[in-house]
Structure formats: C-alpha cells, structure tokens
Amino acid sequence: MTPDDLSAALFDLILPLAESHREGSSAEIRREDVVLERPKNRDHGDWASNVAMKLAKRLGTNPREFAAQLAASLADVPGVATAEVAGPGFINVRLDAAAAGALAKKIVDEADAYGRNESQAGRAINLEFVSANPTGPLHIGHTRWAALGDSIARVLKASGANVASEYYINDAGSQMDTFGASVLAAIQGKPTPEGGYPGAYIAELGRQVLELKPDLAELPDDEALAAARELAYKLQLAEIEKSLASFNVHFDVWFSERTLHAKNPETGTSPIDDAVERLRAQGHVFDEDDAVWVRTTDFGDDKDRVIRRGNSIYTYFAADAAYYLSKSDRGFEHKIYLLGADHHGYVHRLKALAGAAGDNPDTDIEILIGQLVSVNGAKLSKRAGNIIELDDLQAWIGTDALRYSLARYPADSPLTLDPEQLKKRSNDNPVFYVQYAHARTRSVARNAEAAGVDRSAFAPELLAHETESALLGALQEFPRIVAQAAELREPHRIARYIEEVAGLYHRWYDNCRVIPLGDEPIGDVHRSRLWLNDATGQVIRNGLDLLGVTAPDRM
C-alpha cells in the first residue's frame, strides 16, 4: 500500500462520516485535506495524519472523537494492521507487513519510472539559467547555476511538466565589440585594449581564429575586427557548450539575443520594435522627455523604466521585454529565471515587465536568486587569470562530487565547498556515502546471483524486520519528495532524501541477509529481501539521476 493508496482510502472514509455530522457536508472536504506524514518515532506507526483536527471545526465536531471514528473505520481497510488515536486527534496508522512489503516489487517493476508523478502535468515552463556572456569560459558561479538549473529541470520533467531549459546568449552589445578587439589585439601582438578581456584564453582564441582565417592580417581594420569577433564568439560559445555537456548539462534551447535586434525583411521591424508596440497596446507605455517609457511602477517596480532613449537607442530593458514576450509566443505560460546573487535588482523589473505584458506577475513569472559559492584552496584559472573555471573544478573535484554538492543546498544559501572532503572515500563525504550505498546494492545482487538467490518468489509478509519496515517506509516517500522538490524548485530535497535512504539501507544490510549463512537453505525470505535490495538501488539510482549524478555499480 502506497501513501497515495492510504490517503485515498482515508478520504473515502471521511466523506460519509462528514455527511453524518449535522453541520458537515462532503462538499466541504477536498482530497488535498488528507495529508500523511511519516512519524519521527517509528513506534508510532508507519504513517500519521492530522486530518481529523484539520476538519473537525469545519464539521462542527470534536477532533478526537472524529479521529476515533476514522481510526475505527480505517482499521478495517485491507493492508492496515492498526489505526490508533493519539493526542488531541492524530491518527497513527501501521500497515501490515504484506501491504508494506509489496512496495518493493512495485518499485522494481516500475524501474526508472518510479518516483515520476503528475503533480506538474499540464504546465508549460521555460527555465532559463547560466546565460553567461560568450566572452570567456564558465566560472564557479555559473557552475552552481548550471547544477541547480539542470536539477530543477529534471525534477519538473519527472513531475509531468513540459519544460524547456534555455540558455540566453548575450551576443549583442558593446561587450562583443570589446571581446573582438581583445582577440584581435592578441593576434596582432598588441596590449589588451582598455576595458578589454585579459587572460591566456584570449591569446588561445586568437591563435585558433588565425588558423581559421589566415588572411586576417591583410584585412582592413574594421573587417579584421568583425572577423575576429565572430570567429572568436563561435569558438568561445562552442567551448561553453562543451564544458556544460561534460558537466552533464544540456540545454533544449540556445537563444541568441541578436535575433531580437534582427529586422524582419517583410515588416522592417525587429522583435524589440514589436515588443514596444505590444506593451503600448496593453496601455503601459508612455512618451516623455523624448524617450519611451514603460510604467512598471503600476506593478510594484521602484521606478518607471526607459525602454528607448531620446536618441532612439533601445535600453537593455527593451531586449528583456522582447525576450520575455518571445517565451510567451512559444507557448510557455510560466517562466522561471535563475539569476546570480548580483541580480536582485532584476526581480521587481522582470515581474513588472510580466504585468505590463498582460501576465500575472504573481503566477506567470518566477525569479530565483542563487547565492555565491566558494571553494577552499581553489586557485584562479591560469587561462582566464581572474576566475575559477568550471573545467578546472571538474578536473579537481570530479563531476559527480561537484554536481551533488552544489545541488545539496538551497539556492539562496551561501556555500563553501571543501574539495579534500569531497574526494574522501568515507561516510563523511555525502556523495560517496550515497554512491557507495548504490554500489553495495549492486554487489549484493551479483553475490546473490552467484549463490543461487533470485527473484523467482516474492513474499512481502516476510519483510517484517524493523529495519525493513523503516526502509520500506522511506522508499514509499520518493514520489512525494520528487513532487515537493518540483513544486518548491528545491532539488536539495532529493539529495537529503537519498542520504536518508542510504543510511537506512546500510542498517538493513547489517541486520538482514540476502544470502543464507552456512548450510541454511535458500528460502522465500532471501528472495524477498533481494527484491527489497534491488528496489532500494533503483530508488537511489533514480534520485541520483535527478541530480545529474551517476550511480556506479562498483566502488
């Protein structure tokens, strides 16, 4: 019996009881009112619910008396061993061993699908993260947003949402000219221009550009600058994509800012031009002091925003507006932006933009601000000179340890990583602890096969040891944890959960043998434990996959 099965059974019992109360009505009871939690003290049972206390006032009855009625009816539900009332009206439920143990087969049968749910079904979500300027390598800050953003996308998809993970390429504006000038100066053996990009990576880009266009030195200055800029841009963007791929991060969409400035040959207007007029049609654009403004103060912004200056040059806000509208045009009613710690000022601006576009700022747009991350003992990049590169971090710490550690904490908490700790093969290292638990499940399965223990029989009622009850109780939670991580955009909940499962599995391993000792014959209890062993490995594997981390078979 799964938590959903038990919750549904409890809901079905509540409806007729609600009807029996003079002031009650089944129409007032909703399925979401029935919430189950695992008691911290396992002596209190497998599941607990406060539904009687939640509904008693609404139904005009005493919560403990209502709980007693529910418990009496619940005790007759197949799969429920006991249902007892505690305190002012809590209902503690204990499942019989067969009902609890049946979960092991369900998990193995569902395999990779176990944990997936439909809590976000029907939602079309655009999730933008990283979006670093294509003028240099990805650094430690981008690393955290990459890990978090990709994990958020994974849990949303696992919960039924239609998600597009998107990288916004800031490939327009003066920074691209500065980047091109820096590369050209390196090719020509000249000093880096004032305000330009330093670092050995610029010289390396220059070398690659010259390989692709050997006649660059013969071109007029403006043509040489344009060629250096475009070729270096493509090379740098390819390196960014390669770094992310090696970090197990893949984007569904790479969106170029340049497309927002490009004129439509038929209309003669760009998406930015069109965006201004669309906002004007919504009634939130006005002209003042020869400039065009958006009245974002109507939606909580601290000041109105200039979208086009008096000299007819668009501001960055204009590109933001066109980009936001493009997401709506592509069918994404919900937009999530994962931004760095220095982007707090964007929160009101983007929400006001959503309102000006006719959307609901409270429901249609979400801005997550990630805090800074540092690494003990990290050295600045030899290539870039002033940053810690993603590629260097991966080579030093390892992709799995890095991704797991970055996803293990909420986005809004500052984080300092200890590489030496993350490289330890000990239980003090969370990623090793979890991966080792998975590897142990695979080792048990291999040894069981060699000893002749298979899954040819399954007797869930035999999974009655206290460590088995605790482990099965945790495994039942996985679909709810995934749904919660998706709803709250908090993949760290997955990490903390599989650490708990790993701990419960290690305790079970110490107490319950899958392979008989000595001359003990192989029995159904051993075969049933193999099902539980394999189910645990499947849950840990599914959880690690949601974090973009591998589940090794051997360690």
pLDDT tens column, 123-181: 999 999 999 999 999 998 899 999 999 999 999 999 999 999 999 999 998 999 999 99
Q: Where in the chain is the domain with CATH 3.40.50.620?
A: 124-171+251-373
Q: Where in the chain is the domain with CATH 3.30.1360.70?
A: 3-95
SS3 assignment, position 160: coil
Task: Please name the residues in contact with 500: beta carbons below 8 A apart, sequence gap of 6 or more.
Answer: 474
Domain 425-546 CATH class label: mainly alpha
Cα 78 from Cα 168, distance rounded (Å): 54
Cα 554 from Cα 544, distance rounded (Å): 15
pLDDT reported for residue 290: 93
Handedness of CA 529, 531, 533, 539 (dihedral sign): negative
Average pLDDT for the chain: 93
Q: Residue 346 — very low, low, confident or very high, per pLDDT cuts 50/70/90?
A: confident
Tokens of 283: 């009634």
pLDDT reported for residue 82: 92
pLDDT digits (tens, 9 = 90+) for 424-472: 999 999 999 999 999 999 999 999 999 999 999 999 999 999 999 999 9
Task: Please name the residues in contact with 492: beta carbons below 8 A apart, sequence gap of 6 or more.
Answer: 407, 408, 409, 410, 485
- Residue 120 DSSP code: T
Instruction: Output the CA–CA distances (angstroms, integers) from residue 505 to 37, 122, 509, 542, in the order listed.
Output: 20, 36, 6, 15
pLDDT digits (tens, 9 = 90+) for 260-271: 999 999 999 999
pLDDT reported for residue 29: 79
11-15, 164-168, 182-186, 241-245: which has the minimum mean pLDDT? 11-15
pTM: 0.90
Long-range contacts of 487-491 (CB under 8 A, 24+ apart): 487/119, 487/120, 487/159, 489/152, 489/336, 489/366, 489/368, 489/411, 490/410, 490/411, 491/148, 491/151, 491/152, 491/154, 491/155, 491/407, 491/546, 491/547
Q: What is the mean pLDDT of residues 252-258?
A: 98
Q: What is the mean pLDDT of residues 331-358?
A: 91
Q: Residue 381 — very low, low, confident or very high, per pLDDT cuts 50/70/90?
A: low
379-398 burial code (b ≥16 CB/10 A, e <16): eebebbeebbbbbbbbebbe
Return the higher-pLDDT residue of 211 and 28.
211
Q: What is the mean pLDDT of residues 9-20?
A: 85
pLDDT reported for residue 380: 60
Is pLDDT at 61 greater than 90 in this prediction?
no
pLDDT reported for residue 322: 97
Q: How far apart are the first and last CA of the chain?
A: 34
- Residue 93 DSSP code: E
Q: Where in the chain is the domain with CATH 1.10.730.10?
A: 425-546
Q: How many residues does the chain have?
A: 555
Q: Which CATH architecture has domain 124-171+251-373?
A: 3-Layer(aba) Sandwich (3.40)
Tokens of 268: 């003669």
Instruction: Output the CA–CA distances (angstroms, integers) from residue 552 to 395, 401, 406, 533, 541, in the order listed.
Output: 19, 13, 19, 16, 9
Q: Which CATH architecture has domain 3-95?
A: 2-Layer Sandwich (3.30)
